[in-house]
């Protein structure tokens, strides 16, 4: 019986050395025959009990060598067939054809609008100032002349960190102004773009997170007229040379006097009529002269220096320019929506 077992090994080895595989189908048949779950080699392992004890080791090594031989043949032909298929595919490619178009991404509308606003103010000497989004109460409120009982301090408006009444998500980028004023000496001319957070109900017109660009200019003899001319320049650069503005009295705790600035949008169509509520005027930012108390809080002498500040929402500007009627669309990251935009506004 041992002679028969060794003869079977020799016959299978000879069969393997002479085998030819020219297709994927033939390769699969080979795998099933010699490497599958019911392959021919499995019966040989059962023959080891019929081999004499002195030749069991020799027989086991012979069977293992046979299995290794089958695995090498399979791997070699699998690689060769794959390479051959790759050559066929390469040969079928027409190298003279133009390439497929390379789809490019688009810039987010908020980024487009923010970059344009930054470029406008950089032309007249404003520099960019950026700071942390997790702020302390002093820089976010107290330094900005916000009284302890001001509604903005209530929990329904501000996101406070858990178990903290001092650490919060900034509600405006005015906190950047406070940090700049406490670390730099006048003259100061900065714009502070960034994301801010308020505990508001999310709807088509409001969101719990949005972006602002605030500006600050502090120097000797800065007047309300300087602020008006700066904002007029911005409006004409942003909305065109024929743009008109108006300033209405308002209140902000960190400016005195304070104003809200409207731009004339017109009543040319139903959309303009709706967003201006039939007046033709649209509010785009708040502004005012820096309150002397704010200067004192930041160790700047209000007798020697004065300044103005302004702030606007980026989402509002983007919604106006692109006629977007739902602010939530700016935060949903819907690729179908974002593909509509490019870098030119």
DSSP letter assigned to residue 149: T
Query: What is each CA distance from 198 to 168, 209, 268, 328, in whole angstroms?
Result: 10, 6, 34, 15
The answer to the question of residue 102 being in a domain is no
Cβ proximity of 254 and 175 under 8 Å: no
Is there a single domain that holds both residue 179 and residue 287?
yes
Is there a single domain that holds both residue 59 and residue 130?
no
DSSP letter assigned to residue 124: T
pLDDT digits (tens, 9 = 90+) for 67-105: 888 788 878 888 887 877 776 666 666 777 787 777 777
Residue 214 belongs to domain spanning: 109-338
Specify the pTM.
Answer: 0.67
Query: What is each CA distance from 117 to 111, 192, 318, in whole angstroms?
Result: 10, 11, 11
The segment with the largest mean pLDDT, out of 44-53, 60-69, 72-81, 300-309, is 300-309
Cβ proximity of 213 and 193 under 8 Å: yes
The answer to the question of residue 16 being in a domain is yes
The answer to the question of residue 27 being in a domain is yes
Count CB-CB contacts under 10 A for residue 151: 9
Is there a single domain that holds both residue 319 and residue 216?
yes
Give the model's confidence band at 155: pLDDT under 50 very low, under 70 low, under 90 confident, else very high. low
pLDDT digits (tens, 9 = 90+) for 204-235: 888 889 999 999 999 999 999 999 999 999 99
Closest to 137 measured CA to CA, from 115, 159, 117, 116? 159
The answer to the question of residue 291 being in a domain is yes
Cβ proximity of 15 and 33 under 8 Å: no
pLDDT of residue 1: 40
Distance CA 9, CA 59 (A): 9
CATH code: domain of residue 157: 3.30.930.10
pLDDT digits (tens, 9 = 90+) for 238-287: 989 999 999 999 998 899 999 999 999 888 888 778 888 888 898 999 99
Distance CA 192, CA 311 (A): 9
Question: If DSSP states are collapsed to H, E and C, what string results for 244-311?
Answer: CEEEEEEEECCEEEEEEEEEECCCCCHHHHHHCCCCCEEEEEEEEEECHHHHHHCCCCCCCCEEEEEE
Distance CA 226, CA 238 (A): 18
Is there a single domain that holds both residue 46 and residue 134?
no
The SS3 of residue 99 is coil
Closest to 170 measured CA to CA, from 136, 200, 130, 142? 136
Is there a single domain that holds both residue 188 and residue 162?
yes
Is the pLDDT score of 11 beyond 80?
Answer: no
The answer to the question of residue 345 being in a domain is no
The answer to the question of residue 343 being in a domain is no
Is the pLDDT score of 192 beyond 50?
Answer: yes
Which of 37, 61, 91 is where one domain is finished?
91
Q: What tokens appear for 58 in the block?
A: 């020799």
Domain count, the chain: 2
Is there a single domain that holds both residue 155 and residue 276?
yes
Q: What is the mean pLDDT of residues 192-201?
A: 91
Distance CA 192, CA 215 (A): 6
The answer to the question of residue 146 being in a domain is yes
Cβ proximity of 313 and 212 under 8 Å: yes
């Amino acid at each position: 019986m041992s002679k028969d077992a060794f003869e079977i090994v020799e016959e299978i080895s000879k069969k393997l050395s002479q085998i030819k595989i020219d297709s994927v189908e033939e390769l699969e048949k080979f795998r099933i025959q010699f490497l599958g779950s019911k392959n021919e080699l499995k019966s040989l392992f059962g023959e080891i009990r019929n081999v004499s004890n002195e030749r069991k080791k020799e027989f086991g090594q012979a069977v293992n060598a046979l299995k290794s031989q089958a695995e090498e043949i399979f791997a070699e032909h699998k690689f060769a067939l794959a390479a051959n298929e790759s050559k066929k595919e390469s040969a079928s490619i027409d190298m003279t054809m133009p390439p497929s178009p390379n789809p490019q991404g688009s810039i987010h509308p908020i980024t487009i609008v923010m970059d344009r606003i930054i470029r406008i103010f950089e032309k007249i000497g404003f520099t960019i100032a950026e700071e942390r989004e997790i702020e302390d109460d002093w820089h976010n409120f107290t330094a900005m002349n916000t009284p302890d009982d001001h509604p903005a301090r209530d929990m329904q408006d501000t996101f406070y960190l858990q178990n903290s009444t001092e650490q919060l998500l900034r509600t405006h980028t005015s906190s950047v102004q406070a940090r700049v004023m406490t670390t730099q000496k006048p003259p100061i001319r900065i714009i502070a773009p960034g994301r801010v957070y308020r505990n508001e109900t999310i709807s088509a017109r409001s969101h719990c997170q949005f972006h602002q660009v605030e500006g600050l200019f502090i120097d000797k003899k800065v007047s309300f007229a300087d602020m008006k001319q700066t904002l007029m320049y911005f409006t004409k650069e942003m909305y065109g040379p024929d743009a008109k503005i108006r300033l209405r009295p308002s209140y902000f705790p960190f400016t005195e006097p304070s104003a809200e600035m409207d731009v004339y949008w017109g009543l040319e169509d139903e959309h303009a009529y709706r967003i201006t509520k039939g007046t033709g005027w649209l509010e785009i930012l708040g502004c005012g002269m820096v309150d002397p108390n704010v200067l004192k809080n930041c160790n700047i002498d209000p007798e020697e220096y004065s300044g103005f500040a302004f702030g606007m929402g980026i989402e509002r500007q983007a919604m106006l320019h692109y006629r977007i009627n739902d602010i939530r669309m700016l935060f949903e990251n819907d690729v179908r929506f974002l593909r509509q935009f490019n870098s030119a506004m």
